[in-house]
Amino acid sequence: MSKFKFAIMGAGKIAHKFCDAVRLLDEWGENCCVGAVASKSMERAEKFAGEKGIPGFYDSYEKMLSEEKPDCVYIATTNDSHYALCRLCIGYGVPILCEKAMFMSGAEARDCLGYAQKQGVFAMEAMWSRFLPAVNKSREWLLDGRIGEPVFGEAAVGFRAPKDLPNRYLSPELGGGAAFDITVYAYQIMTYVLDRKVERLHVEATATPSGVDGTELILLRFEGGVPAVLKGTLMTSPDEKLIVYGTEGKILLPRPHYSNEAFLIRFDSPEPEHFIDTETKNGFTYEIKEVLDCIRAGKLESERVSHRLTIDYAEVSDMILASME
């Protein structure tokens, strides 16, 4: 059986981590490789290919699709180009794993994922945090009733983005803003851990001098009357954590979007239960394994990172941007 061949659009830092993860999976018997990379700059594409031992490199995304005929494309470009590149791949019948935020509006998400379904092409947002062992342990504790009934949740993620423009964090032209870069994690992890339908939502956001959103607060009400507050920012360095409080205890997930540990604190026990992930070598391996499994099984979407989830958050981002007006 021939190797499953990934191709990459974009030759930035995150694409290096993706290549390393694919190499690990191949070593573990998944029979996969990265066969080509494309960038708007031939120099960058060639340099990246040389560093990672990739045979094909291009300065045209379409030419790469046409000549390489990959089994899946990983889109690692800036947010502003995701929609167009997703549609380009789908038009060629090539499955996609696209970095978050996959889309910059609900309209983009509905159109592109509808197109993927119509064309019978697999598409998934690269929400790698939903696959991390610590995140899944937190979800398991909650679903097993270890903290009783959930009462409310809170999450904060963010960092101080560089102020010099242009940069991908704060530039409108590159699809910058907290909603697309960091708040997406808070939403997608909290909805996963609580595993309940969102019944209603309210947003407040503030703009940066460049015009993108710099900070937002999202108030959610989940099924069963469970509220949660999410905070995302590119303007300061918050205490990054996710906590779900229950009637019998609480679950703490430090640095939720890349955490390697979780704490279960019960009110009737003096010592917390501490989960430490000692197995993960590269956190991207889990989402890539999901892509391989789904495509090999003929699926059009992942159950864990579904099209509905991606559309829902794209519509939340619409609300975030509208709240700045």
Q: Token pair of 25, please?
A: 């999976």
| pLDDT-above-90 percentage for the chain | 98
Exposure string for 245-258, b = 16+ CB within 10 A, e = fewer: bbeebbbbbbebbb
Strands 226-233 and 241-246: unpaired
Statement to judge: residues 177 and 259 lie in one domain: yes
Q: How many domains does the chain have?
A: 2
Task: Tell me, rounded to whole angstroms, the distance of Cα 9 from its chain centroid.
Answer: 16
pLDDT in tens, 111-134: 999 999 999 999 999 999 999 999
How far does the chain reach from its first CA to its final CA, in angstroms? 55
- CATH number, domain of 244, equals 3.30.360.10
Question: Which residue, among 205, 218, 244, has the nearest Cα to 325 in the 3D structure?
Answer: 205
Identify the pLDDT of residue 87: 98
Amino acid 125: pLDDT: 98
Query: What pLDDT was estimated at residue 270?
Result: 87
221 within 8 A of 195, measured Cβ to Cβ: no
pLDDT of 35-44, one tens digit each? 999 999 999 9
Tokens standing for residue 7: 């191709």
159 and 103 in one domain?
Answer: no
- The chain-wide mean pLDDT, for the chain, equals 97
Based on the fold, state whether residues 109 and 142 are members of the same structural domain: no
pTM > 0.75: yes
Residues 137 and 275 in one domain: yes
**Residue 213 backbone dihedrals phi, psi, to 5 degrees:** -75, 130
Residue 52 sits in the same domain as residue 156:
no
Kindly state whether residues 137 and 271 are assigned to the same domain: yes
Position 312 in a domain: no
Q: Which domain holds residue 78?
A: 4-127+284-301
| Mean local confidence (pLDDT), 33-55 | 97
**Predicted pLDDT at 325:** 75
User: Number of helices (H) and strands (E), helices first, in the chain?
Assistant: 10, 14
Instruction: Please indicate, yes or no, if residue 308 is contained in any of the structural domains.
Output: no
- For residues 144 and 265, state if they share a domain: yes
Look at residue 225 and tell me if it is in a domain.
yes
Q: What are phi and psi of 11, to 5 degrees?
A: -120, 40
Per-residue pLDDT at 165 = 83
- Spatial separation of the C-alpha atoms in residues 220 and 204, rounded to whole Å: 12
- What is the length of the chain? 325
Q: Assign residue 80 the CATH number of its domain.
A: 3.40.50.720
137 and 274 inside one domain: yes
Question: What is the layout of strands, in order, in the sheet containing 123-126?
Answer: 56-58, 32-38, 4-9, 72-75, 96-99, 123-126
Whether the per-residue pLDDT at 83 is higher than 80: the answer is yes
Q: What confidence tens digit (pLDDT) does each residue in 145-157 have?
A: 999 999 999 999 9
Claim to verify: residue 116 and residue 17 sit in the same structural domain? yes
Is the same domain home to 79 and 110? yes
Same domain, 169 and 104: no
CA–CA gap between residue 266 and residue 238 (Å, rounded):
25
**What would the DSSP string read from start to end of 277-291?**
--S-S-THHHHHHHH
In a domain, 319, yes or no: no
d(CA 122, CA 4): 15
Tell me the sheet residues that pair with 164. Answer: none
For the stretch 255-267, pLDDT in tens is 999 999 999 999 9
For the cut 80, the answer to whether the pLDDT of residue 77 exceeds it is yes
Per the domain annotation, does 306 fall within a domain? no
Residues 197 and 107 in one domain: no
- Please state whether the peptide bond connecting residue 166 to the residue before it is cis, i.e. omega within 30 degrees of 0: yes
Instruction: Write out pLDDT tens, residues 283-305.
Output: 999 999 999 999 999 999 999 99
| 185 within domain boundaries | yes
3-class DSSP state of 70: coil
Model pLDDT for residues 18-30, shown as the tens digit of each residue = 999 999 999 999 9
Positive or negative, the CA dihedral 107, 228, 97, 95 is negative
- DSSP strands (E only) in 30-80: 32-38, 56-58, 72-75
Would you say residue 313 lies in a domain? Answer: no
Residue 1 has pLDDT above 80, yes or no: no
Residue 267 lies in a domain: yes
